Structure 1
Amino acid sequence: MKGPGLDVGVLGVLPVRADHLDSAAAVDKWLRSAGSVERIRQVGAMSRDKLARFASLLDASTGPELLGSVDPDLATRIVRAAEVTQSARWLEALETDEAAEVLRRLTNSAREKLLAQVNESQALVLRGALRWPATSVAAHMLPDVFTIPDSITAAEAEALLRTQSAQVRSRARAGALIYVTDDDLRLTGFLEFQDLVLAQPDQPVAELSSEDPVWVRPTVDAEQAAQSLVDYELAALPVVDEHRRLLGVLTADAAADILETEATRDAERQGGSEPLEVPYLRASPFRLWRKRIVWLLVLFVAEAYTGTVLRAFEDEMEAVVALAFFIPLLIGTGGNTGTQITTTLVRAMGTGQVRLRDLPAILTKEMSTGFLVALTMAAAAIIRSWTLGVGPQITITVSLTVAAIVLWSALVSSVLPLILKKCKVDPAVVSAPMIATIVDGTGLIIYFWIAHATLPQLAGL
């Protein structure tokens, strides 16, 4: 956000770096000229000493402003670098979900020290947010919302909302919605502020509110809840307990953050690595090693069976040396086919477009597509075999194998992500390297089976 009259230089280059600031006023001016990306880049690059000095310049206004505009990992670093009392004041000013996200990343002792400095009512709210699993929607909800009973009139509701306005700190993010409850405090509906303002003073709230609102339980997965909010085009998604009492709401901007984070994690898993959890430039070599090495070792072990398959068919390759020429081509084709399907399918699953019940339609679509791809790739294999001059028998073997591997890869890649999802395993683990590894060994077995059926030289082996 750029303030009026501030010169941010050519192409948005800031005239002053954050680590060169020397006063609270300078920090305030820098914040007004630096967008969130620039803030993250400059503050994230600071050493521990520079960050501590920079944090000491933040005040009750600039501290929450900065923390609310950077990623949770960097916000946690800033909180650690500042004095405990100073950090506590910043957390009090943050929205509950943002403050809880920072607290989750601290050690138990550091968290308790901070909560001891936070005012009692806010500390109670934060402890309530921290008791939910980090992956649940309740961990991301805002507990402060406007609520009114359905038994009062519009005029009485307006008066009640005025008394609530001091307590509802999150009204700017929760949207222009008021939630309606019955005598047992169960959620019955909602209405917009403008509907209440335009209503007749004596009109009952029950007549103004909607019926059967969409809601979720607090333990529902945050990504699933965020996708529901998007699907139903809601401004906020109510979170209720087992008695349907309102606990809080998931806001649209919180849902967008959740979906963006999950999309990034899925993309990283699809590349055969665990999510970094921090921006790439702040990831140390050790973190990168730790996130990548497990998958690499798993893939190494899984890939070892490819060598076992080759050894099992050693005699066949000695009898027909030309078979070895096409091994890289065949396993590469199978892996590429599977990667295309899993990448598309996992993303469609992540956005709620497909579920296990859609498996018949998915199989029909992918196997039909696979058949067309198989014909095309078989034709390409014939041309390649002809250019190598391996003869008609090897050409037939290779073209049939390419077609069979493409169809096999399409089948495996269509079914596996959905089965994993059903087994409560993140389907994103069916990464490009993993699907290629699965198809490699099985593709070789298919290759040599077809070779046995088509090549007289292999009779008796």
Structure 2
Amino acid sequence: MKGPGLDAGVLGVLPVRADRLDSPEAVDEWLRSVGSVERSRQVGTMSREKLAGFVSLLDGATGPELLGSVDPDLATRIVGSADTAQSARWLETVGTDEAAEILRRLTNSGRDKLLDQIGGPQAEVLREVLRWPPTSVAAHMLPDVFTVPDSITAAEAEELVRTQSAQVRGRARHGALIYVTDADRRLIGFLEFQDLVLAQPDQSVAELSSDDPVWVRPLIDAEQAAQSLLDYELAALPVVDDQRRLLGVLTADAAADILEAEATRDAERQGGSEPLEVPYLRASPLRLWRKRIVWLLVLFVAEAYTGTVLRAFEDEMEAVVALAFFIPLLIGTGGNTGTQITTTLVRAMGTGQVRLRDLPRILAKELSTGFLVALTMAAAAIVRAWTLGVGPQITVTVALTVAAIVMWSALVSSVLPLLLKKCRVDPAVVSAPMIATIVDGTGLIIYFLIAHATLPQLAGL
């Protein structure tokens, strides 16, 4: 029995699967009993033929509801399985931001057909959003916002908001803010609905509005804008052009989606792979291969110099065979140290906690931490060397090398992400495999240089 607030779709206790539905009424009942995650899972596993049959059962109410509750990739597949007229009617009903995300994933011809079918002011609004780069905040903004001029009274503003609401009803989500503009639509302030409702009818909007709102330019990075919205604890972030004319707003929901997607992409890059852009279970082996192989080949080439280093010090290893025992331990320690620092630092950069100007503080913090880690790891290396019985000279060599590699890895991992960010390269590309690859070869060089300085057997080599 389904209790209050209990989602049967989340629990997996379903009366019927989506691919077994046979009527619009059954689809409506299925939507009421299934959560968004389960909807995506069931519909996403359908074959092309079953998806077409399922889509034919959707109507003017269930179609938009389904599109608004699944991920953009699946929503695009659903739209592609319906005829143009039906898809256009659905896109007219969903939010402008959701419709734009779906249209952006279609081919140019498919997008143009749908926009021609939609027509009217809404098609122009969608074309305006689609003309911005996908990574910009303007590509994620909501153009349909409530605006009132500063020269009217509260009563006139309330009537104007009602008119605007009727014009965009059903295809936009609005926050609790009304934006105040001048005669040229330049943003000058904002006010809340409750302030307008509770104001005296003859009170001026200019008196009610708050001055100097926080705003961003349309081409600013979407992730940066989303972070700004959170930093200032805003309900929505206005987007204005060079003349400060209001273009739209970034909503809190859109900002959360942007940050979640960016966190996912960063995590995938840090694992040495390009972002999938689709849910994992719907990614084909070919897509997974394409996303992973480039990085693997880059790392393969980069790792090749480790073999070159080993060959260059071949005589040293022949003279002191015990040196080879510790190579995996040393390069593994350096890679692990760098991975810890890079993961923490990249995430801090993504949330706006650190910037390039913070580099001196970061270096001081990480090198101080690295020194403590180096001492601890050197002590562990001494214990390990003692258990292998390699003698005091090699034990000293290994201990000094571990400490030096830890410090070197801390330096590289602290500086490189910030420098890449300065060069407009995503710092997430400094992934765990890349840091490990960089430290592997350089760590071996450090190892053999220290060995030359501490082991008399290597004199003259």
What is the TM-score normalised by the length of structure 2? 0.97
Letter in 2 for 1:215: W
Distance 2:5 2:442 in 1: 66
CA spacing shift, 1:119–1:9, aligned 2, 3 Å: closer
Alignment of 1:159-174 (within 5 A): 159-169=159-169, 173-174=173-174
Shift of the alpha carbon at 1:119? Answer: 2.9
Distance 1:111 1:172 in 2: 20
SS of aligned partner of 2:416: helix
Distance 1:7 1:172 in 2: 26
Distance 2:416 2:104 in 1: 34
CA spacing shift, 1:19–1:321, aligned 2, 3 Å: same
Corresponding residue of 2:116: 116
Letter in 1 for 2:249: V
Corresponding residue of 1:67: 67
Letter in 2 for 1:357: R
User: Conserved in 2, the CA contact under 8 Å of 1:400 and 1:450?
Assistant: yes
SS of aligned partner of 1:281: helix
Deviations along 1:25-61, one digit per CA (max 9) or x if unpaired, are: 1001000111000000000000000000000000011
Matched, 1:399 2:399: yes
Deviates more, 1:103-112 or 1:6-15: 6-15
Extract structure 1 runs of 4+ deviating beyond 6 A: 2-7
Corresponding residue of 1:344: 344
Alignment of 1:437-448 (within 5 A): 437-448=437-448
Shift of the alpha carbon at 1:4? Answer: 7.5
Deviates more, 1:7-16 or 1:172-181: 7-16
Query: Percent of aligned positions with the same letter in both sequences?
Result: 87
| Alpha-carbon RMSD | 1.6
Corresponding residue of 1:21: 21
CA spacing shift, 1:3–1:128, aligned 2, 3 Å: farther
User: Conserved in 1, the CA contact under 8 Å of 2:95 and 2:171?
Assistant: no
SS of aligned partner of 1:216: coil
Distance 1:10 1:457 in 2: 67
Corresponding residue of 2:433: 433
Deviates more, 1:205-214 or 1:162-171: 162-171
User: Conserved in 2, the CA contact under 8 Å of 1:14 and 1:34?
Assistant: yes
User: Conserved in 1, the CA contact under 8 Å of 2:178 and 2:190?
Assistant: yes
Q: Which runs of 5+ in 2 are unaligned?
A: none
CA spacing shift, 1:261–1:453, aligned 2, 3 Å: same
Deviates more, 1:178-187 or 1:251-260: 178-187
Shift of the alpha carbon at 1:115? Answer: 1.4
User: Conserved in 1, the CA contact under 8 Å of 2:10 and 2:38?
Assistant: no
User: Conserved in 2, the CA contact under 8 Å of 1:173 and 1:253?
Assistant: no
CA spacing shift, 1:7–1:389, aligned 2, 3 Å: closer
CA spacing shift, 1:9–1:444, aligned 2, 3 Å: closer
User: Conserved in 2, the CA contact under 8 Å of 1:27 and 1:57?
Assistant: yes
User: Conserved in 2, the CA contact under 8 Å of 1:174 and 1:249?
Assistant: no
What is the TM-score normalised by the length of structure 1? 0.97
Deviations along 1:198-236, one digit per CA (max 9) or x if unpaired, are: 112222111211111000111111111101101110000
Matched, 1:139 2:153: no
Deviations along 1:400-431, one digit per CA (max 9) or x if unpaired, are: 00000000000000000000011000000000
Deviates more, 1:160-169 or 1:411-420: 160-169
Matched, 1:242 2:242: yes
Letter in 2 for 1:193: F
Corresponding residue of 1:80: 80
Distance 1:6 1:306 in 2: 56
Corresponding residue of 2:52: 52
Corresponding residue of 1:295: 295
Deviates more, 1:282-291 or 1:109-118: 109-118
SS of aligned partner of 1:214: coil
CA spacing shift, 1:171–1:202, aligned 2, 3 Å: farther
SS of aligned partner of 2:180: strand
Alignment of 1:91-130 (within 5 A): 91-130=91-130
Deviates more, 1:327-336 or 1:196-205: 196-205
SS of aligned partner of 1:174: coil
Distance 1:18 1:305 in 2: 54
Deviations along 1:326-364, one digit per CA (max 9) or x if unpaired, are: 000000000000000000000010011111111111111
Distance 2:225 2:169 in 1: 23
Q: Which runs of 5+ in 1 are unaligned?
A: none
Shift of the alpha carbon at 1:282? Answer: 0.3
Alignment of 1:127-206 (within 5 A): 127-169=127-169, 173-206=173-206
Deviates more, 1:143-152 or 1:6-15: 6-15
CA spacing shift, 1:298–1:273, aligned 2, 3 Å: same
Distance 1:200 1:329 in 2: 75
Alignment of 1:267-346 (within 5 A): 267-346=267-346
